[in-house]
Each structure stands twice: as structure tokens, then as C-alpha cells.
Amino acid sequence: MAQVSDKRLLRALRGEVLDRPPIWLMRQAGRYLPEYRETRAKAKGFLDLCYSPNLAAEVTHQPLRRFAFDAAILFADILLVPDALGQGVAFKEGEGPVLGAITDEAGLTALSLANVEAHLAPVFETVAKLSATLPNDVALIGFAGSPWTVATYMVGGRGSPDQRAARVWAYRDPDGFAKLIDLVTEATVLYLQQQIDAGAEVIQLFDSWAAQLPDHEFDCWVIAPTAKIVAGLNESHPDVPIIGFPRGAGAAGVRYAAETGVTAIGLDTGTPIAWARENLQNRLPVQGNLDPLTLVAGGTALEGEARRILTGFGNGPHIFNLGHGIVPETPPENVARLVDIVTSWKNS
């Protein structure tokens, strides 16, 4: 019989209301830390860092040496999946990711599931290393991008403010675009199953570009593929909780929570607390949603916003996090201050 873990993150994900919420931060390992920049400089490039188990495990550990986080998240990137599918991904300094854009069904012939698991083996090795070395009370989170968000990069060839290329393809040729989404969905299930086999205790699905999609598009490209991934993982690994993060979904988050089967939902910075309490937290644990820019500003803004969130979500299952990733200009001392505020909090 599996032992039920008493790690704080896992308890919150089981729906427990704790004396204080667990805390971890999106991009807690990253450029705002000088030790990250030092390790990053040892790799040949960003992808090499992701594919080097020793270095990737090291940067995952770094924030935990400074801050009393309740979880570590695997250091990797959502674009490893297209890379493993054979698309070819490059990270150019100061430019972000660049991919050879796939803009129609014919372009899919260049992609294949055959090498996904072999290609991603170093990531699983990183997970195994982390599983063996993390402190006992720290939960290990694996992750992937959600198919829609990953597809926006695969089709656009890079990040874009409105994901125009993917959206226009999806409107013009929904059947062809669905083949791309299906392929990414299948690869993502394989990828996450192996992360769990290697030791990941929780999965987060990042749908960073879920905003501004009309109902039908949101149903087809965000909800349906997420539901498929959740079903696939539930079948192979029924005990592993899944946090879905449909950034910018707004009121559509209610449909997402009800229809995807995720264990918990991540809330972005703009999600009203009272609304989320009444429409989401009454059904499932919520995660979020401090503005990462309060970590840049520090001071009373940081304290005020952190306490507003702690108070607002304190009577239900809650995981303290940001509403978006840490930005590089964040002073590490502000992260320390935040972790102090949250870990010394007592729900009344």
C-alpha cells in the first residue's frame, strides 16, 4: 500500500486546508540568481543546460539553498518536446527561442514520436538525480507545456504577442492543426509519464498562451488536449496530482477546471481573488497569484499583496505562488522576504 506523503504541497493538492500554504515560485531557478548565471555559463547553450543532468539538477537545487520553498521544479523548458519531435529548436541570446516554423499539415512530416523518449532521456536522469537528493520535505514537480502553447511556438517559429500564426492556421484548417496538437499531446503524455517514473511527484502543465481564445477555440485547443493528457496520466499514474495553469483564461478558467480533470488550477496575476474563491477554490485547490513585479518593487507593495492573497485564499486549499514567472531583475532578498512572510503566516 502506497504511503500517503505528508509533504506540504501534496497535502494542499489533496484539498487539505493547512495552517499556512506551501510555497514555490514559477522560475524560482533562473536568471535572477547569480549562481544560476554562473552555472549557465558552464553550458554550451541553454538547451545544453537542459540536457546536462548534473547542471540541470544543480540549478534546480540552487533556490532551495537560499529559500525555504516547499517544492522544487525540474529545470527544463517547454520547447524540449518540439526539439524531441525533430523540429530543431535554438535559443539565441537576447532573442528567445527560434524554431523552423511548421505552418501547414505538410510540415508535420518532419516530426516523429519515434525518438521522443530517447531524446529526452537526460531530462529523466535529471529528475532521478533530484528525486535522490532533494530534502525530504520538498516535493518534486515535473512539467511540460500544454499542447496549445507549445504549438504556438512550433507554428510561429518564435514567441509572438498574439500567437497569430497558430491561430490563423487553426481557423483555416482545423483538421490539419488538430494533427499537430494530437502529436504534441501524445509526446507530452510519454514525456510526463517518464518524468513520473523517474521520481516527479506532481506535474504542472503550463498553458502560457491560453488568453484571448474564443470559446470554441479554447475548447478545442486548450481544454480537449489538456483533458487527454490528464486522462493518460491518470491511467498510468493515478496518484500523481496535476496542476493546470491556463494563463489569461479569465472566466473560461471555470470551464477548464470542470472539464480537464486537473487536480488544481494555477491563477494568473489578473484573476480576482473573491471571484476565484467563489468559482474555483470551492471545487479544487488553487495556486497563485502574486504579481512577480511586486518582487521587483519590494517593500509595502510586496507585503500588502502577499497578505491579501494569504487572507483571500486562507480558508480553502491553496498553494502560494506567483501569477507568472519571476523576472530576471528580481532582487533575491525580496524573494527571501516573501518566503518569510508566507512561511510565518498562520491561517486564522
The residues in 96-135 that bind its own copies, with binding defined as CB under 8 A, are none
Stretch that binds its own copies, among 105-113, 125-133, 252-260, 334-342 (CB under 8 A): 252-260
Helix (H) or strand (E) holding 289: strand 286-290
Name the one range near its own copies by CB under 8 A: 30-38, 70-78, 91-99, 265-273: 265-273
DSSP 41-109: HHSSSHHHHHT-HHHHHHHHHHHHHHS--SEEE----TTHHHHHHT--EEEETTTEEEE----SGGGGG
Minimum separation from the CB atom of position 189 to its own copies (A): 27
Q: What x/- string results for residues 171 through 210 when contact with its own copies is judged by CB under 8 A?
A: xx-x------------------------------------
> Out of 11, 61, 228, 324, which residue is the one contacting its own copies (CB under 8 A)?
324
What type of residue sits at position 77?
D
Is 227 near its own copies (CB under 8 A)? no
Cα gap 308→147, rounded to integer Å: 33
Enumerate the β-bridge partners of residue 320: 23, 288
> What cell was used for 192?
510526463
Q: Which amino acid is at 35?
A: E
**Among residues 8, 11, 51, 77, which one is catalytic?**
77
Look at the block and give the residue holding cell 518540439. Answer: 82
Binders of its own copies: how many residues, by CB under 8 A? 48
CB 111 within 8 A of CB 86: yes
In the block, which residue shows the cell 527544463?
76
Nearer to its own copies, 60 or 294 (CB): 294
Determine whether 77 is an active site residue.
yes
Which residues here bind its own copies, judged by CB under 8 A?
161-162, 164, 167-168, 171-172, 174, 211-218, 248-252, 254-255, 268-276, 279, 289, 291, 293-294, 296-297, 299, 301-302, 304-305, 308, 323-324, 327
- Residues designated as active site: 27, 31, 40, 77, 153
